[in-house]
Amino acid sequence: MQAPREADGGIFVAEIKITTEVAGRVCAIAASAGESIGNGDDVVLVEAMKMEIPVPSPTAGKIKSILVNIDDVVAEGQAIAILET
The domains of the chain, with CATH numbers, are 5-84 (2.40.50.100)
Per-residue confidence in pLDDT tens, the chain, 85 aa? 555 565 556 677 899 999 999 999 999 999 999 999 999 999 999 999 999 999 999 999 999 999 999 999 999 999 999 999 9
- Number of residues in the chain: 85
**pLDDT tens per residue, range 33-56:** 999 999 999 999 999 999 999 999
- Rounded CA gap, 44 and 64, in Å? 14
Q: Which pLDDT value is given to residue 13?
A: 82
Alpha carbon 54 to its chain's center: 11
What does the buried/exposed string (b/e) look like for 6-25 if buried means 16 or more CB atoms within 10 Å of the residue's CB? eeeeeeeeebbebbbebebe
